[in-house]
Amino acid sequence: MNKYKLFLREHAPFLLFQLMLLLFICLLFWLDGARDWSTSLYAILMGILLTAGYLLVKFIMRRSFYEVLEREPGRMEDALIGRPQTPEHRVTAQYMRKLYRLYHSDVQKLDTAQHRQLHFINQWVHQMKTPISVLGLLLQEEETDRKSFREELDRLQDGLDAVLVNARLETFEDDMRIERVRLGELVRQAVTDHKRLFIANGVFPQIDVDAHFVVATDPKWMKNILGQFLTNAVKYTFEKGKKVYAEAVQTDEGIRLTVRDEGIGIPETDIKRVTRAFFTGENGRKTGESTGMGLYIAAEVCGRLGHPLSIESVVGNGTAVSVLFANGEAVETDGA
């Protein structure tokens, strides 16, 4: 819209008010008995000049604002007022900059999420080629090795589960359901779901969780996270006959669940970065199958559920991943 037309439309009520005011002054002169119209005409002309001068100064001060509205924006920054002159425009400019920062922050979050999702899918597709190729080779053999076939199917299933978990993470709050659950039963279910992984790698689980420990959490998400801890523990335990320990103790802060392995451990330089998205570290390069998303998703979920996550490791002596349930307690009855 033309800036002159916009200015006139904005000040049309003011001009109408000024006209009525001048006519009212003329009426007062006439009622007072004045019949010399030269004085009234002089007052009208002075009123018009003063009003025109006021509007001219105001238009000059608002010119930068109208220029912003008049030009076609090519990017978001073009909608910001560059040189605000009036107090109203300064406040408006500050408000627009705050909106721009919010907009820019939201765009960055969406861009980061999209980039993370695309990167994760690319890595996942690359990794799923291996079990599919192995399954194809197994099918070409006259006698199919059922054990190897099952192992590759499990790898495919784990990969699909990882994709679904990563997708649901974007709508975590809609999918979350907090319940009071038996921690021991939850751990045993997670171990049972991964029993073939333990058998295939010759690693033995050992559970030491009091049957009376009850925690408030989302059982579905927590079981996925425990599955990730167990998978990592087995994956990075290269020697057969080793154990993976799932232990829970009650502390002053709550119930602390720890999944500890006897694997290769995490280098000290990587320990603070293993929960970052796509960080595979030194150990990930050894196996060649790490997406760098497992512990990242675990940290995100634990953070949103309010369960602090901590990781301790010594190279050559294994890794311990702990989750603190601040609302956990030991109950004697089954009325959890």
User: Can you tell me the mean pLDDT for 281-301?
Assistant: 73
Mean of the pLDDT values across residues 300-322? Answer: 91
Instruction: Tell me what the pLDDT averaged over the chain comes to.
Output: 81
pLDDT score at 288: 57
**pLDDT above 70 for 286:** no
Q: Which of 61, 54, 51 is nearest to 15 (CA)?
A: 51
Q: What digits encode the pLDDT tens for the residues 74-121?
A: 666 666 666 656 676 677 777 777 888 888 888 888 888 777 777 777
H helices of the chain, in order, are 3-31, 37-61, 63-70, 87-140, 146-168, 172-175, 183-193, 195-201, 219-235, 281-287, 294-305
**Which tokens go with 102?**
């919010």
What's the pLDDT score for residue 187?
95
How does residue 219 score in pLDDT terms, banded at 50, 70 and 90? very high
Looking at domain 180-336, what is its CATH homologous superfamily?
Histidine kinase-like ATPase, C-terminal domain (3.30.565.10)
Higher pLDDT: 231 or 284? It is 231
Quick count: other Cβ atoms within 10 Å of Cβ 226? Answer: 24
Express each pLDDT in 142-182 by its tens digit.
676 777 777 777 777 777 777 777 777 777 777 788 899 99
User: Which H helix or E strand runs over 256?
Assistant: strand 255-261
Residue 336 has pLDDT above 50, yes or no: no
Sketch the domain layout of the chain as residue ranges: 3-101, 180-336
Return the axis-axis angle of helices 37-61 and 3-31, rounded to nearest 10°: 160
DSSP tag of 121? H
Looking at residue 335, what is its pLDDT? Answer: 47
Name which of 235, 203, 209, 237 is nearest 222 in CA terms.
209
Q: Read off the pLDDT of residues 241-261 as tens digits, 9 standing for 90 and up.
A: 999 999 999 998 899 999 999
Please give the Cα distance from 72 to 49 (Å, whole number): 35
